[in-house]
Amino acid sequence: MAFQILRPTFLPILSLVWIFLGCGRNTDVAQSPFIFISPIGVPQFLSIVAVNEGITNTMSKDTDFLSEPNDYKPEFLIRYYVTNAEPQFVGYNLYITTTAPSIAETLAAGNVYLENGVQPSFTHLSSEASTSSSKLQTRRILNQIPPPGVFPFIKCEIYTFTMRALLNSGIFSNPSTPVKMCSSSRPYLCPVGSSCNPSECNNASCTTVVKQNCPVGTLCNPCTIVGAEETGCVCPSGVSPPGCNL
């Protein structure tokens, strides 16, 4: 009789215990949709060319070009393709330093080049993604407004350029492959021992190993493109370094 009286109360309690003990167990059926997080595409430079105000964006001499290009203040041409197709993609941030920027610098937006005072450095949309030659992007980095700080580009100094894709959520991609470039279009005119003209590069009889690390335009790695010595020595189609800049 006592068991019959307790059974209506005992069964609900037993059911609750069974439910609690069963919580957290793995099942063969997904209990919520899967969410995949795809990494942001990493942009890359096609080339970076040292120029000056006497050289146009097509690497030709301006009508006011002087015979001595080192009389001009250094500038750079950044060339790249838009390759990011993420829906939230808003453009690229460009970082310019004398060394490769660290993750901490990137998070703090350190050394980021801002044309209009706001990020990204270069505004784009995902609909612009293309590697067609007609879609090549060329941006001119002027002498008077480069980072870091308020200092302009200095002649005969090597600068490191990296680029990151930026989403409208504030998330950015991993950095592109760093590219180092001398600020002078004719490094052999720079003082021997400077960043653009190290002593080992001031030797026309240097080894192949040394040549690979010397800026184009030094005695060790002279420009081999006829007529391009004063305009950045860009490699024509089908030609690769050494002897010219990509």
- Sketch out the chain's domains with CATH numbers: 45-185 (2.60.40.10)
Instruction: Encode 217-234: b = buried (16+ Cβ within 10 Å), e = exposed.
Output: bbbbbbbebeebbbbbbb
- Collapse the DSSP code of 21 into the 3-class scheme (helix H, G, I; strand E, B; otherwise coil) and give the result: helix
Question: In the predicted model, is pLDDT for residue 33 greater than 50?
Answer: no
Report the range out of 20-24, 63-67, 155-159 with the highest average pLDDT: 155-159
Tell me: pLDDT of 85 over 60.
yes
Q: Would you state the structure tokens that stand for residue 210, as one six-digit string?
A: 């040394």
- CA gap 173, 40 in Å, rounded: 5
pLDDT digits (tens, 9 = 90+) for 112-160: 888 777 899 999 999 999 999 999 999 999 876 555 555 688 889 999 9
Tell me the β-bridge partners of 165: 92
CA triple 179-181-186, angle to 5 deg:
155
Give exposure, 174-196, as e/b (b: 16+ Cβ within 10 Å): ebbeebebbbbbbbbbbeeebbb
pLDDT tier at 18, thresholds 50, 70, 90:
low
pLDDT at 48 exceeding the cut of 50: yes
Output the CA torsion 59→63→66→70 (10° steps).
-30
| pLDDT tens sequence across 189-237 | 899 999 999 999 999 999 999 998 999 999 999 999 998 888 889 998 8
Identify the pLDDT of residue 191.
Answer: 93
| Cα angle for residues 197, 199, 205 (degrees, 5° grid) | 100
**What pLDDT shows up at residue 224?**
93
pLDDT(107) > 70: no
